[in-house]
Amino acid sequence: MPQSSQSRFDAQRASDSAPRPTEPRFLEQVANACRVKHLAYRTEQSYVSWVKRFILFHNKRHPQEMGPAEVRAFLTHLAVNRTVSASTQNQALNAIVFMYREVVRRDPGDLGEFDRAKRPKRLPTVLTRDEVKRVLVHLEGTYGLMARLLYGTGMRLMECVRLRIKDVDFTRGTITIRSGKGDKDRTTILPESIREQLESHIERLRGLFAQDREANLRGVELPHALEVKSPNTGVSWPWQWVFPARDVSRDPRSGIVRRHHLLEDGLQRAMKRAVQLAKLSKPASCHTLRHSFATHLLESGTDIRTVQDLLGHSDVSTTMIYTHVMQQPGLGVRSLNQPPPVWVQMSTAHIYGDPPEIVCTEDSAFGYGLAPTVGRAWEAEFQRSLLPTQRGVILRTSFVIGRNRGAGNGALAKLGFLARIGLGGTVATGKQGMSWIHEVDLNRLFERALLDQAMTGAYVASGPNPVSQGEFMHALRKAIGMPIGLPATEWMVRHSAKWLLRTDPELALYGRYVVSQRLKNENFEFQFPLVGLALKNFLQS
């Protein structure tokens, strides 16, 4: 054998006989995937635990060998045999889906139907102000400060124990909460009642900080890769914990010995003892202080959007649950020394029903069916709620050509989508009325209702030139630049409106022609009186 060939053969044999790094065990791979995605340590522990239980449930079969049927069986077992809560079952599902996508590297497939644990609608437990005082009086020292911080800021328990010195701004009177639920940051208030106590507490920590630096202790844990990018940040004063643990401990992930923050179970035990000493007639935990914070703010008249921001809720509907446990339920039912002098109420032009060809005005008869019934109920409740000292204005609004500022994509966006793909033709006969108003004119009408003392009662809030549905879609196609618009028969609309437009098919099949006789008599001038001009202006802007 030539020398060069012999050398390559020896090198290859040496490479084959060299020890190969062993692949991590499967559960270790799950843990590593959690760390790559920067999931919280608690989430990592939870996901590893659920994957392990999933594997054991199927007699230690490898997940690679299993699919949707095995996942459904496990989730059904949790709901039926273990009677777990809906949130627990959902957590297990999230862990298994994560494992398949990030470790097995394949989609878990269509899970189909499985027995889901029922999610009960429960109201949060809320303490009265007196009950909060009775609990807090039995909490002293660091735990007392933490409990007062929970009640005064609305923080979650783990947000409190993970608070860092740099996030407390005494000058602005704010506390910044980093990586809260959903890995989101937010700002909340620094309660004046504990400002001095918190300042003294942080100042005392300087001694512990100096002690750790003298002992050459590794710095505190840092988020994600910051420790690699800036290794000295962990030993800087601003990044230290506001509530550090008394003793150092070994980091469960890195194995580094450092000072961690206080464990949350210490505060939980202290809170449990305080509730017992206060002799409350209801169960309460650390999270109850957060519920109480939100409810007491709403009871004092704080705007619900402000409370939503302070709590870090993504959806205001989550915050709305506290309105059901207020001592004075209903945000709008509140006695005012000076009620607003005018009340402008939105109603609907659907109140006139579906007259085929009649042009309706404010004096026309109401229609029949669901939409007119709802419209009449709105206006009747408005009249009952209107104070004798208030001027009331009702705007029976038609289709608005404007930007969507609510949920979903808005009606005009859906019609525009259909027009762009060539489906923007007539619906059924195409003769049903399409009354409309440009958002600029609607805003001007609102402003006039607020300022004009002579304006009172019901007005039709619609443009002066209603068109048929076919004419409206033709104008929309022309504004978009789509010459083709395939028609849709009635049966097609009835079968597709719910999943394509996500709306009731009746709204597409029926319509009405409405104009405001009152606005005409009062010489209100529309900036956009023609539908083609209104659509062109809106789409260009």
Cα–Cα distance, 271 to 138 (Å, whole number)? 9
Q: Which residues are catalytic?
A: 156, 181, 287, 290, 313, 322
Q: How far apart are CA 276 and CA 381, in angstroms?
A: 46
Q: Is-contact 453 418, C-beta < 8 A? A: no
Structure tokens at 167: 């996030």
> Side chain identity at 155, as an amino acid letter?
M
CB 351 within 8 A of CB 372: yes
For residue 120, give both structure tokens.
């009960």
DSSP conformation letters of 176-195: EEPS-TTS--EEEE--HHHH
Distance, CA of 298 to CA of 328 (rounded, Å): 9
User: How long a stretch of residues is the chain?
Assistant: 541
Tokens of 230: 């800036």
Alpha-carbon distances, residue 302 vs 261, 335, 411, 442 (angstroms) = 33, 14, 33, 29
CA distances from 87 to 74, 76, 179 (A): 15, 14, 21
- If one counts every other C-beta atom within 10 angstroms of the C-beta of residue 346, the result is 13
CA distance 84 to 80: 8
Q: Is 10 helix (H, G, I), strand (E, B) or coil?
A: helix
The answer to whether 240 and 205 are in contact (CB under 8 A) is yes
Which contacts qualify for 194-199: CB closer than 8 Å, 24 or more apart? 194/145, 194/148, 194/149, 194/152, 195/170, 197/145, 197/148, 198/145, 198/149, 198/168, 198/242, 199/170
Q: Mark residue 227 as left, alpha or beta (left: phi above 0; alpha: psi -120 to 50; beta: remaining).
A: alpha
Burial, 265: exposed, middle or buried (Cβ in 10 Å; 0-12, 13-18, 19+)? Answer: exposed
What residues have CB less than 8 Å from 120, skipping those under 6 apart?
Answer: 86
231 three-class SS:
coil
Tokens of 3: 């020398």
Residue 298 structure tokens: 């709403």
Separation of alpha carbons 24 and 4, rounded Å: 37
Cα first-last separation, the chain = 80
